[in-house]
Amino acid sequence: MKSTDTMKFITEKNYARADGFLKSLGFSHTHIRRAFLAGLVTAKGEVIVKSTPLEARAAVAVAFADEESNLAPAPMKQKICYEDEDLLVIDKGVIPAMPCKMYPDHTLANEVWGYFQSKGIRRKVRMLGRLDRETTGLLVVAKNPYAYGVLEKDHTKNKTYLALVKGEVKEAGTVNAPIGAGERSLVRVVRDDGQSAVTHFRPLKSGEVSLLEIKLDTGRTHQIRCHMAHVGHPVLGDELYGGGCGGVHLHVHKISIVHPRTKAPMIFTSPMPNEWVSYLSE
pTM: 0.89
Q: Which of 272, 280, 252, 270 lies closest to 97, judged by CA?
A: 252
Taking the chain (282 residues) in runs of 10, the rounded mean pLDDT of each run is: 77 96 90 93 94 95 90 96 96 93 90 95 92 95 91 88 96 97 87 96 96 96 96 96 92 96 95 91 66
The answer to whether residues 141 and 168 belong to one domain is no
Q: Report yes or no on 177 lying in a domain.
A: yes
Question: Same structural domain for residues 163 and 244?
Answer: yes
What integer pLDDT is reported at residue 154 of this predicted model?
82
Residue 20 lies in a domain: yes
Q: For residue 169, tell me if it sits in a domain.
A: yes
Do residue 166 and residue 226 come from a single domain?
A: yes
- Cβ atoms of 21 and 7 closer than 8 Å: no
164 within some domain: yes
Which CATH number goes with the domain that contains 18? 3.10.290.10
pLDDT of residue 4: 62
Q: Is 74 exposed, middle or buried (0-12, 13-18, 19+ CB in 10 A)?
A: middle
**CATH number of the domain encompassing residue 203:** 3.30.2350.10
Residue 244 domain flag:
yes
Same structural domain, 192 and 243: yes
Whether residues 165 and 243 fall in one domain: yes
Please report the pLDDT score of residue 282 as a whole number: 59
Within-domain flag for 272: no
In a domain, 68, yes or no: no
Task: Say how many domains are in the chain.
Answer: 3
The answer to whether residue 228 sits within a structural domain is yes
Same domain, 164 and 145: no
Which position among 132, 154, 217, 238 bears the catalytic label? 132
Owning domain of residue 32? 6-63
Active site residue 132: yes
